[in-house]
């Protein structure tokens, strides 16, 4: 059918409608059909095309049908098809076909074969008949009702479209409203859930949304857009509408309604999910099937041995995307029609496998036994690999066991390793053990150099393993490890669905929209002046902890929290709203919970009850507490109990700050220093949507709005690096280590000769330790504690950085591998620094004479389009690189010192202060700085820093005199390095 339009018609809805149909017929091979002549309202079918397809593709079965049923042949097919569609979803009927007596089987759709080995299968796939109708009068009850466009596969409807023309003042929202108000599914086969069309699209020239279930006013539409400039919407398309990707092939990929994509969606994506008595028909959102299809196309072209980083925001349906990827990649064939991957292994670093992920992947299986879930021991994992299981789901920790260390002979098989939540743990020992298990082969060489290079090669990129890493928040390590190098020479995600797009499309909630901060002011008095118990950083850390745990401080915060919850939170979500209190330690969590429970009881607030979550045993005031004893039920029951109306508030310490999905969480009360990735992951517990327009509230007692904005900025749109990491830093580290007086190269070589021969006996291990102890003795005899500590940190940096570099590039440098093995042994033997005995601060020693909680900032901390930040490259894998602001600050300090004292100190002179910072930032000081406000911990840092400066400059009279006598200069330097220490503590 061809429409002609006058100038006056150009604004009409039918013009856009006709354009879509014209493109489908001209470009995608569709047949346009006339509703009046070809649509069977009662069956919601184009019966003529259905029978044409069956006769031409399966003539023998049709002949048997006619022989058996004579004139009733077509009627019997319709009867069986109608029964099948009532019993099973449309996509299942298209996949499985129908059967009639006597053993007549009809396929209703032929899907693209995995390989081209069988030309008949390809011919049948091409024989599918795709058709389209305009203005389909679908209702027997009201013949006037019509849907703008319906598409069919072999006469069976698969999609409906309500189309709006923006030039008429109507848009996609009007199309959605039309579906809700005028497209009741009751008694209408075309619109009935599972029975009729699989998906319903609302379309205008710029935007698309879709639903798989029409429920009148309760119908929920989801955006089906490609994304525009990092946010919602669609990009411009030259000489076309922005939604042209539905009906036209573009340089970015085939059209959604193309034969290739549409049949792929029906055959391999659409899935009926059953849970808790509810059924949901899953039709992939655009970013989901786009990511999967692009992955498969790239893998088919590139072969095994590639890396893929998929940065998909929370709320993107990551579990489904992983499931589709796993099931489809094992059926991928290369250009020679050979299977590309033998096994897909899905790994997570969660010690308890994500049940949702397990169930999703298992539920997508169309063949029994394809998926092997390793809930048991590492022996089960070993068996699954050796038996060639097609899809394995496991934790990464299971690879680091003796069972997996015995696997060999897998180098000839190809693996697709899909990583759920890829972070720095993927460059650790467990990740290396996984690579070893999947590549290890027996070596026949006796040459030590060959053996060493084989060890090193096993760390690097493997031609038989493709890594597919999924995360919403890639760190710099993740980008460098799994990203693709772009035209700018920097690594980028292979596929992106940004946090910004997810927020704008309302898949997740903007948790920064309602943010409020409080500032705590402490005044402490010592009972005994100059008490030696208060000297030193260990004591100062205890003082800060004492202040933050003081009942007065917690009581005031609890009052703010409870009253805020009652006034602003409790009424939300029809009274089902919940809140989380995030604390800095297990003791803080328990104390908070106790004070909270007491306050609620004292006030007589019924209908408000709290739970607490922390790990292990905790002794408080002489009583031993566990999470179970506090709550009155087992730890495993907490998520389910918290979901009921019995509990509204959950107090946590580390637990449930990541990987916990509770859509009813509306408020979060933060009493812990958060920075970087930890801030994003913690606050993300609030971002799950719940119905429409769920609000969120954050009250923060520890962080500023600007600090939180800075934490979110790198992950708001596409995460990027400021510049690539300089891998040559490994040689700088190697030179500094070998130049140290403790290391002798001949001892390293002797160690390697013994170590890499393998099958080490007890005697061999004693000999190796004896070799390493020679360096250890030199270290112990050194009286320069600063130099010792610098070497300790240097060794740690080398070990971490080498593990990273060896993964991203084939080094082919045996000496580095020898030094790594030797350094790992030496690092374990080095004595730790002396740690002062614990000091318990009591009320007899210290008094909280005043405490004031003052409201700070209030409003939105939300980021706007373009408000992003880049991640810094890796610098010595643990060194605290200078930011531009810090460089400016340091320059000002140097200039001030030199101007005031007529000196000529350089930047290198002042970087000696870094050694002071490293010396004093032990575990306790780091924890104290990380978890407390600056005004609480600065004095402790300042005192320790002063002592460190005096010690550092004992042989530098000029610098020591300035430090001792110029209070202002000393304070300026201390403030600078305190800020540096804060950043290092929060990012560490």
- The whole-number pLDDT of residue 655 equals 82
Distance CA 973, CA 986 (A): 20
Residue pair 792/831 in contact by the 8 Å Cβ criterion: no
| Model confidence pLDDT, tens digit, residues 884-904 | 666 667 777 777 777 777 777
Collapsed DSSP state (helix, strand, coil) of residue 322: helix
Q: Are strands 208-211 and 222-223 parallel, antiparallel or unpaired?
A: antiparallel
How far is Cα of residue 476 from the mean position of the Cα atoms in its chain?
14
Instruction: Give the pairing of strands 391-395 and 343-348.
Output: parallel
Question: For position 547, what pLDDT does the model report?
Answer: 74
Cα 38 from Cα 33, distance rounded (Å):
7
Q: Give the lowest-confidence range in 24-33, 97-106, 222-231, 673-682.
A: 673-682
Q: What is the pLDDT of residues 455-476, one digit of tens each?
A: 788 788 889 999 999 999 998 8
Q: Which of 153-157, 634-638, 664-668 has the lowest mean pLDDT?
A: 634-638
Determine the average pLDDT of the residues in 811-817: 93
**In this predicted structure, what is the pLDDT of residue 858?**
92
Higher pLDDT, 691 or 498: 498
45-49, 272-276, 353-357, 506-510: which has the minimum mean pLDDT?
353-357
Positive or negative: CA dihedral 591, 594, 595, 597? positive
Quick one: pLDDT at residue 940? 81
Q: What is the enclosing helix (H) or strand (E) of 511?
A: none
What's the pLDDT score for residue 731?
92
Q: CA–CA separation, 51 vs 641, rounded Å?
A: 55
Position 714 pLDDT exceeds 70: yes
Q: Residues 857-880: what's their mean pLDDT? A: 80
Q: Does residue 837 have a pLDDT over 80?
A: no
Q: pLDDT-based confidence at 797, cuts 50/70/90?
A: confident
pLDDT at 324: 93
Across 191-205, average pLDDT? 97
Report residue 972's pLDDT band, with 50, 70 and 90 as the boundaries: confident
pLDDT above 70 coverage of the chain, percent: 88
Q: How far apart are CA 278 and CA 298, in angstroms?
A: 37
Q: Which of 163, 154, 158, 106 is nearest to 130 (CA)?
A: 154
Q: Is 705 helix (H, G, I), strand (E, B) or coil?
A: helix
Mean pLDDT, to the nearest integer, of 41-55?
A: 97
Per-residue confidence (pLDDT) for residue 357, from 0 to 100: 62
In whole numbers, what is the pLDDT of the chain averaged over residues?
86
Does 905 or 190 have the greater pLDDT score?
190
**Residue bearing the bigger pLDDT, 239 or 353:** 239
User: Stretch 346-357: mean pLDDT, rounded?
Assistant: 63
Can you tell me the distance from the alpha carbon of 481 to that of 424, in angstroms, rounded to the nearest whole number? 9
Q: Name the one residue in this structure whose structure tokens are 């009320």.
A: 843
Is the per-residue pLDDT at 348 higher than 60? Answer: yes
DSSP state of 310: E
Give the separation between CA 318 and CA 915, rounded to whole angstroms: 44
pLDDT of residue 941: 86
Asked whether the predicted pLDDT for residue 790 surpasses 90, the reply is: no
| C-alpha span between 492 and 485 (Å, rounded) | 6
What is the rounded CA–CA span in Å between residue 99 and residue 107?
Answer: 9
The answer on pLDDT for 824 being more than 60 is: yes
Give the model's pLDDT for residue 313.
Answer: 92
pLDDT tens for each residue of 506-552: 999 999 999 999 988 767 665 555 555 555 545 555 666 777 778 88
Query: Which residues neighbour 611 within 8 Å (Cβ) at sequence distance 6 or greater?
Result: 593, 631, 638, 641, 642, 647, 649, 650, 651
Is the per-residue pLDDT at 964 higher than 90?
Answer: no
888-900: string of b/e by CB count within 10 Å (b at 16+)? ebbeebbeebeee
pLDDT category of residue 985 using cuts at 50, 70 and 90: confident
Whether the bond into 102 is cis, omega within 30 of 0: yes
What is the band of 2 on the pLDDT scale with cuts at 50, 70, 90?
Answer: very low
55-59, 704-708, 761-765, 840-844: which is most confident: 55-59
* Structure-block tokens of residue 888: 């400016």
Tell me, what's the pLDDT at 118? Answer: 83
Query: Looking at the predicted structure, is the pLDDT value of residue 352 above 50?
Result: no
Q: Give residue for tokens 């810094």.
A: 872
Tokens for 385? 């690999």
Residue 1: predicted pLDDT? 44
Q: Decide if pLDDT at 206 tops 90.
A: yes
pLDDT (mean) for 171-197: 96
Confidence of residue 813 (pLDDT cuts 50, 70, 90): very high
Q: Does position 55 have pLDDT exceeding 90, yes or no?
A: yes
Q: Is the pLDDT assigned to residue 299 strictly greater than 70?
A: yes
Say whether pLDDT at 980 is over 70. yes
pLDDT at residue number 349: 62
- In degrees, to the nearest 5, what angle opens at C-alpha 557 toward C-alphas 554 and 559? 110
- 32: tokens are 């346009």
Task: Place 879 in a pLDDT band, splitting at 50, 70 and 90.
Answer: very low
Q: Which pTM value belongs to this model?
A: 0.83
Give me the torsion for CA of 152, 153, 155, 158, rounded to 10°: -50
């Amino acid at each position: 059918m061809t429409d002609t339009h006058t100038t006056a018609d150009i604004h009409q809805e039918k013009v856009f409608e006709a354009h879509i149909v014209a493109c489908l017929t001209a470009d995608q091979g569709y047949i346009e059909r006339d509703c009046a002549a070809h649509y069977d309202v009662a069956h919601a079918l184009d019966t003529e095309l259905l029978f044409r397809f069956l006769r031409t593709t399966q003539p023998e079965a049709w002949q048997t049908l006619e022989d058996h049923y004579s004139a009733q042949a077509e009627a019997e097919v319709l009867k069986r098809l109608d029964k099948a569609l009532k019993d099973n979803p449309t996509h299942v009927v298209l996949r499985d076909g129908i059967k009639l007596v006597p053993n007549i089987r009809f396929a209703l759709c032929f899907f693209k074969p995995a390989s081209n080995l069988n030309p008949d299968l390809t011919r049948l796939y091409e024989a599918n008949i795709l058709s389209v109708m305009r203005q389909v009068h679908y209702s027997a009850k009201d013949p006037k009702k019509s849907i703008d466009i319906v598409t069919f596969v072999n006469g069976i409807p698969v999609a409906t479209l309500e189309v709006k023309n923006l030039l008429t003042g109507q848009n996609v929202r009007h199309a959605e409203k039309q579906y809700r108000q005028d497209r009741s599914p009751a008694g209408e086969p075309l619109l009935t859930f599972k029975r009729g069309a699989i998906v319903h699209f609302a379309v205008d020239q710029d935007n698309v949304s879709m639903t798989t279930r029409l429920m009148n006013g309760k119908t929920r539409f989801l955006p089906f857009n490609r994304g525009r400039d990092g946010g919602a919407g669609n990009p411009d398309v030259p000489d076309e509408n922005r939604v042209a990707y539905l009906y036209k092939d573009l340089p970015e990929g085939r059209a959604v309604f193309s034969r290739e994509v549409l049949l792929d969606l029906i055959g391999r994506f659409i899935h009926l999910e059953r849970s808790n008595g509810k059924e949901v028909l899953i039709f992939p959102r655009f970013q989901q099937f786009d990511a999967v299809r692009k992955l498969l196309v790239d893998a088919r072209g590139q072969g095994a041995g590639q890396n893929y980083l998929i940065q998909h925001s929370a709320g993107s349906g990551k579990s489904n995307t992983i499931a589709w990827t796993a099931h489809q990649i094992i059926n991928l064939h290369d250009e020679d029609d050979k299977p590309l991957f033998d096994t897909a292994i899905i790994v997570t670093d969660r010690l308890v496998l994500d049940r949702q992920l397990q169930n999703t992947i298992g539920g997508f299986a169309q063949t029994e036994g394809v998926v092997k879930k390793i809930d048991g021991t590492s022996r089960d994992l070993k068996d699954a690999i050796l038996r060639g299981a097609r899809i394995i789901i496991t934790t990464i920790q299971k690879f680091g066991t003796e069972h997996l260390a015995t696997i060999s002979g897998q180098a000839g098989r190809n693996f697709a390793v899909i990583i759920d939540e890829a972070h720095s743990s993927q460059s650790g020992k467990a990740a290396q053990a996984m690579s070893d298990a999947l590549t290890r082969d027996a070596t026949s060489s006796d040459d030590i150099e060959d053996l060493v290079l084989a060890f090193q090669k096993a760390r690097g990129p493997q031609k038989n393993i493709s890594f597919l890493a999924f995360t919403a928040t890639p760190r710099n390590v993740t980008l460098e490890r799994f990203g693709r190098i772009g035209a700018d020479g920097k690594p980028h995600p292979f596929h992106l669905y940004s946090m910004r797009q997810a927020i704008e499309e309302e898949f997740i909630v903007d948790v920064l929209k309602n943010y409020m901060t409080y500032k705590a002011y402490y005044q402490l008095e010592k009972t005994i002046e100059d008490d030696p118990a208060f000297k030193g950083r260990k004591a100062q850390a205890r003082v800060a902890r004492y202040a933050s745990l003081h009942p007065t401080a917690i009581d005031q915060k609890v009052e703010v929290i409870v009253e805020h919850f009652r006034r602003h939170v409790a009424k939300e979500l029809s009274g089902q709203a919940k809140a989380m209190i995030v604390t800095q330690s297990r003791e803080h969590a328990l104390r908070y919970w106790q004070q909270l429970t007491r306050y609620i009881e004292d006030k007589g607030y019924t209908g408000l009850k709290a739970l607490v979550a922390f790990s292990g045993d905790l002794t408080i005031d002489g009583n031993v507490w566990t999470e179970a004893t506090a709550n009155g039920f087992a730890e495993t029951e907490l998520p389910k109990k918290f979901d009921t109306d019995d509990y509204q508030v959950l107090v946590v310490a580390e637990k449930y700050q990541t990987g916990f999905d509770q859509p009813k969480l509306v408020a979060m009360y933060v009493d812990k220093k958060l920075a970087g990735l930890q801030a994003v992951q913690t606050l993300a517990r609030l971002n799950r949507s719940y119905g429409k327009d769920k609000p969120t509230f954050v009250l923060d007692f520890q962080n500023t709005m600007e600090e939180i904005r800075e934490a979110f900025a790198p992950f708001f749109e596409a995460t990027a690096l400021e510049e690539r990491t300089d891998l040559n830093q490994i040689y700088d580290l190697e030179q500094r280590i070998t130049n140290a007086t403790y290391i002798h190269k001949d001892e390293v070589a002797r160690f390697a000769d013994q170590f890499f021969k393998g099958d080490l006996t007890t005697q061999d291990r004693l000999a190796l330790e004896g070799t390493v102890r020679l360096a250890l003795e030199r270290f112990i005899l050194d009286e320069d504690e600063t130099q010792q500590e610098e070497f300790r940190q240097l060794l740690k940096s080398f070990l971490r950085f080498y593990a990273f570099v060896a993964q991203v590039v084939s080094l082919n440098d045996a000496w580095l591998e020898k030094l790594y093995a030797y350094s790992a042994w030496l690092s374990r033997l080095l004595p730790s620094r002396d740690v002062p005995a614990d000091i318990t601060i009591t009320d007899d020693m210290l008094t909280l004479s005043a405490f004031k909680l003052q409201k700070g900032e209030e409003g939105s901390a939300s980021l706007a389009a373009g408000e992003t930040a880049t991640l810094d490259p890796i610098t010595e894998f643990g060194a605290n690189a200078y930011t531009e602001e810090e460089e400016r600050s340091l320059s000002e300090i140097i200039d001030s010192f030199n101007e005031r004292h007529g000196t000529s100190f350089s930047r290198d002179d002042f970087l000696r202060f870094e050694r002071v910072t490293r010396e004093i930032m032990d575990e306790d000081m780091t924890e104290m700085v990380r978890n407390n406000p600056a005004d609480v911990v600065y004095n402790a840092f300042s005192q320790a820093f002063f002592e460190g400066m005096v010690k550092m400059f004992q042989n530098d009279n000029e610098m020591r005199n300035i430090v001792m006598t110029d209070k202002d200069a000393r304070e300026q330097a201390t403030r600078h390095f305190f800020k540096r220490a804060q950043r290092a503590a929060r990012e560490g």
